[in-house]
Structure 1
């Protein structure tokens, strides 16, 4: 699990003060390459949530006549979360909302499937590719929250898991109306 790795790297880059023009150029190129990087985060969700997400993506693909994947769904959820963060811009409020929306199962009770065993697993690992700049934005928010609540150690993976599980739970319970149509509309325009 990562905890503010991108944030710490960015602070280190800002602290570096290249002296001559060659070092400044090298530093600028390195920062440009780093900022264009795509990172992979892995988080776990209940298998039933993952399957429900797969069925939703399949519905969007069929009805929207497009290829829509879990990666696309998670990207939509992250973009929506970031949009709300920008709109609210209050780390205390966002922290409270994360706590309220955190319906993740307790990790101690979750079983993981052993590669060579026939055991069923009740969790699935999800990989999500995210632009470094977006990960940095999330980590800056999490650093702000950690300053307000030193015992609150949310990682990017935690946030991804919370927003995914919260969305699937709301979808499963019928709290979201016209989800497929709204997703198709968002994807097409």
Structure 2
């Protein structure tokens, strides 16, 4: 039986390989290859939301007088997501949050492709973000836990990051960005 991967990075697989390495030379090579503190994840973001996020990041940068880009924005959003899931969000709520994109017009490219519903004239921007390896691994483990309750779920770390990003930006579209800017400035001060 093959093991399911929960991201293109397959960090769980890397960790399992480290445990299987018997020879000292294999352990040294594995240590050298897998000791990076950060990993890079590619996300497919609707182009209009990418532009909106750039404007938001410029606003934050201007107000805070600190460098602020989409990588930092997603890092804050993902930290909040992990904190919520550590403290209170049940697997059912996580699954519900991810599947909500299946029931209405999905905005996540990965879900379009899985369900053969991708609309060809939608434009996407490939955003590469850098996140801490241990946080990416934590996200994969969370998805692995989710598969114990929902064994055939199609979700990956990339889809989770896309969902967090897109939900946040869609909320800004609906309610303006004053509250979001205020909250992001507060988080930067923490």
TM range (shorter): 0.7 to 0.9
Name the structure 2 match of 1:27: 27
TM-score (norm 2): 0.80
Name the structure 2 match of 1:165: 166
Deviations 1:49-95 (A, max 9, x none): 11111111011011111111000100011101100110126323321
| Distance change in 2, residues 1:36/1:4 (3 Å) | closer
> Where does 1:1-189 land on structure 2 (aligned, <5 Å)?
2-3=7-8, 5-17=10-22, 23=24, 27=27, 30-31=30-31, 34-88=34-88, 90-100=90-100, 103-105=106-108, 106-107=112-113, 108-111=118-121, 122-174=123-175, 178-189=179-190
Which range moved further: 135-144 or 172-181?
A: 172-181
Could you say which structure has the larger radius of gyration?
Answer: 1
Q: Can you give the 5+ residue segments of structure 2 that lack an aligned partner in the other structure?
A: 1-5
Which range moved further: 8-17 or 36-45?
A: 8-17
Distance apart, 1:17 and its partner CA: 4.6
| Distance change in 2, residues 1:145/1:185 (3 Å) | same
Q: Can you give the 5+ residue segments of structure 1 that lack an aligned partner in the other structure?
A: 112-120
Number of residue pairs matched?
Answer: 175
| Distance change in 2, residues 1:34/1:170 (3 Å) | same
| Distance change in 2, residues 1:86/1:98 (3 Å) | same
Is the 1:47–1:122 Cα contact (8 Å) retained in structure 2? Answer: yes
Is the 1:146–1:153 Cα contact (8 Å) retained in structure 2? Answer: no
Alpha-carbon distance between aligned partners in 2 of 1:110 and 1:87, rounded to the nearest angstrom? 39
